[in-house]
Chains A and B, each alone.
Chain A
Amino acid sequence: DGGITQSPKYLFRKEGQNVTLSCEQNLNHDAMYWYRQDPGQGLRLIYYSQIVNDFQKGDIAEGYSVSREKKESFPLTVTSAQKNPTAFYLCASSIYTGRTDTQYFGPGTRLTVL
């Protein structure tokens, strides 16, 4: 069964702790993305990666870090420097053939920082 998986679905952390969100895909897609979703704000791009061992900052990268050591995996770390980390985090992937790619989203992780 192909797709994108994110774990966990719900995550609670104390303020000041770093936390890593998992994203795995078995679609053989080259490109992967992390979005943050807040109520009324739509989807905002945090980081994206078009190829292994390379990634680019999106619009709201401050306080976040990523790695892309394997094609299938694109974990996101929410650091203590992120001022307002409570949000719904969505991972997506696409084939990356240019500016017409369809993005496939994972189920998301809802992070709550207490």
Chain B
Amino acid sequence: GQQVMQIPQYQHVQEGEDFTTYCNSSTTLSNIQWYKQRPGGHPVFLIQLVKSGEVKKQKRLTFQFGEAKKNSSLHITATQTTDVGTYFCGNYGGSQGNLIFGKGTKLSVKP
């Protein structure tokens, strides 16, 4: 099945700094979904990108889908302690049409 590679695995930032996580694939992705999992919690859907070059914003979060639809990024401006958690990207590229998740980027924010 299709694999999505997510980097970095961990990111430690000072509160107020920006943060970016990347999701990369060697093949074209039909779409990309982003989820956030707070410590001790469960993944929660954030957004889905479908179109080439698509950019969507949710307050301080900016999501991008590459022009070639092989990569995506999630950028957080001026991180806050509430942003702490693990961010996963996912793509419906499994051999049986199922959702495949990246390994996630764990974000910690130092106040």
Contacts and interface: CB of A to CB of B under 8 A. Distances in A.
Interface string B28-60: 001101010000011111001010000000000
B98 A43 contact: no
Interface stretch (A13-21, A69-77, A99-107): A99-107
Given A42-B103, A99-B30, A105 B92 contact: no
A58 interface: yes
B48 A100 contact: yes
Chain B interface main SS type: loop
Contact of A103 (B30, B45, B94): B45
A103 B31 contact: no
A90 interface: yes
Chain A interface main SS type: loop
A52 interface: no
A40 B42 contact: no
Contacts of A58: 98
Contacts of B25: none
B102 A42 contact: yes
Given A45-B94, A56-B96, A99 B43 contact: no
Interface string B92-106: 101011111111100
Interface of A: 33, 40-43, 45, 48, 56, 58-59, 90, 92, 99-108
For the complex of A and B, the 3 pairs showing the least CB-CB separation, nearest first, are A99-B92, A42-B103, A105-B42
